[in-house]
Amino acid sequence: MGRAPCCDKFNVKRGRWSPEEDAKLKEYIDKYGTGGNWIALPHKAGLKRCGKSCRLRWLNYLRPNIKHGEFSEEEDGIICALYASIRSK
């Protein structure tokens, strides 16, 4: 008994994402959206990844509104001020 597998483990690529895979995922989501069905998305987008891997890649790296890089001086000040008032409970 137990949970059904989320994907075919033998037909799934693991490891680092290539720039081509990133481009395929981004292009597919820009064109069609996710539709809330991450399990079917890799097959439709032509990727050999599992749905969870695609979801995490999109949410953590490829979304257009994600800021990469250093904190600004203003953000640094806010973080320090909040830490001083709250501490690390």
Give the pLDDT confidence score for residue 8 in this predicted structure.
Answer: 66
- 58 is written with which tokens? 């999109």
> pTM of this prediction?
0.73
Q: Is the pLDDT of residue 9 over 90?
A: no
Q: How much is the average pLDDT of 15-19?
A: 95
Q: Using CA atoms of 18, 22, 24, 30 in order, give the dihedral in degrees to the nearest 10.
A: 180
User: For residue 61, is it within any domain?
Assistant: yes
The residue type of 46 is G
Mean per-residue pLDDT for 45-70?
93
> Residue 25 has what pLDDT?
96
C-alpha torsion 38→28→34→21, nearest 10? 30
Q: Residue 52: its pLDDT value, please?
A: 92
Expressed as residue numbers, the domain containing 42 is 17-86
- Determine contact, residues 54/42, Cβ cutoff 8 Å: yes
**What is the tally of structural domains in the chain?**
1
CATH number at residue 37: 1.10.10.60
How far is residue 49's CA from residue 60's CA, in Å, rounded to a whole number? 16
Segment 43-60 mean pLDDT:
94
Confidence at residue 36, expressed as pLDDT on a 0 to 100 scale: 84
